Amino acid sequence: MTKEKETYRIMISGGGTGGHIYPAIAIANAWAERYPESEILFVGAEGKMEMQKVPEAGYAIEGLPVAGLQRRFTWQNLSFPFKLWDSVNKAKKLIKRFKPHAVVGVGGFASGPLLYVAQKRGVPTLIQEQNSFAGLTNKLLAKKADAFCVAYEGMDKFFPVDKIHFTGNPVRKDILHLDDKKEQAIDHFGLDADRQVILVLGGSLGARTINNAVVASMKHFEKQGYQVLWQTGRFYFEEMTVKLEEAGLAYVQAREFIREMDLAYAAADVVISRAGALSVSELSLVAKPVIFIPSPNVAEDHQTKNALACVNNDAAVLLKDEDAVEHLVDSIDQLMADTELRDRLGKNIKKMGKPDAALEIVKKLEALIK
């Protein structure tokens, strides 16, 4: 990417989950690589994970007191109008002080106040929507936004068609080149080079259903000659470690969190995963056969819609959360026994990948400013 000498001030807002934060950081990295003299300021929600993850990535962040509106009545909802008012006022002060050339919203309630104020003041705004079903905040901001960068077709249901750009979701760069990492991955994780590898991912915190499905299936997996690399997530690591020790299995290893995701993907023959937007985008670039088990506990059932976008392109297998414990074994056995099916799913999901998404979003942002 060519580095330019111009300096710009860019604000990026949103967060609450890794699915919002990591694309935001990827956009910032791509902008900083192109315009290293620029100033970039993140705006998040106080107490949320972006307040830790963004500084770890090397960027400044300001927190707003905004909190999400619960979909059922709770006492927390009574404070929502006051927190929103305070957040809008702080957003006004931040924009007045920072004087951004453009503001990027990546979704999550944290982006609402900042983009609302930016739009009121005529600052160009770009919305990056990760999911196949637009989030509430992005839908509310859609009328006055200048551009929408999306990862799925059919987003004209939510946004003006003439402002939509099909860029894909930004992802980490280290997963783009896996072909020569298989041997390194086997060695790094202490795997058996002669056994097929099932990679299990439930997010950094973990997914109860996926973990229970692995517990119910792991003796069968080992008996069939498979091995399992299993990210349990922080919430479930101790519990799952105990269950694994009780089972006494040699070819199933549980890890609280896997940092070397490029190596994990390189080792995998089949992946079991939730269907968050970022996970789907990464797995599209990894080009491995995937069994998606969408979480039923997310707004607007986003994950099922994300998974169906792949299934409808013959690019993945969908296993409902309610069926996972009972039927995961069947889904894995079918994939492992059918080389042609695995190859077809891997090739088809790769067609959906957008390896240059961050750069494409930067180009759209440039166009808004210039």
Per the annotation, does 154 bind a ligand?
Answer: no
Q: Determine the length of the chain.
A: 370
Q: Which two tokens stand for residue 365?
A: 């942002």
Per the annotation, does 211 bind a ligand?
Answer: no
C-alpha–C-alpha distance, residues 370 and 368, integer Å: 6
Per the annotation, does 279 bind a ligand?
Answer: yes
C-alpha–C-alpha distance, residues 96 and 86, integer Å: 16
Per the annotation, does 303 bind a ligand?
Answer: yes
Per the annotation, does 278 bind a ligand?
Answer: yes
C-alpha–C-alpha distance, residues 25 and 22, integer Å: 5
Residue 273, beta-bridge partner list: 201, 292
Per the annotation, does 131 bind a ligand?
Answer: yes
Question: In sequence order, which residues have a C-beta less than 8 Å from that of residue 71 and are 6 or more positions away?
Answer: 299
Question: To 5 degrees, how large is the angle CA 13–CA 17–CA 21?
Answer: 45
Per the annotation, does 277 bind a ligand?
Answer: yes
Per the annotation, does 280 bind a ligand?
Answer: yes
Answer positive or negative: Cα dihedral of 278, 284, 288, 293. positive
Q: Which two tokens stand for residue 46?
A: 């106080």
Indicate left, alpha or beta for 155 from its phi (over 0: left) and psi (-120 to 50: alpha): alpha
Per the annotation, does 132 bind a ligand?
Answer: no
The 10 Å Cβ neighbour count of residue 4 is 13
Question: In sequence order, which residues have a C-beta less than 8 Å from that of residue 357 and are 6 or more positions away?
Answer: 26, 149, 151, 167, 168, 169, 170, 171, 281
Shortest CA distance to 87 belongs to which of 37, 143, 137, 155? 137
Per the annotation, does 18 bind a ligand?
Answer: yes
Shortest CA distance to 133 belongs to which of 354, 309, 312, 314? 309
Contact 233, 289 (CB under 8 A): no
Per the annotation, does 25 bind a ligand?
Answer: no
List, as residue ranges, the binding site: 17-19, 131, 172, 204, 258, 277-282, 303
List, as residue ranges, the binding site for UDP-N-acetyl-alpha-D-glucosamine: 17-19, 131, 172, 204, 258, 277-282, 303
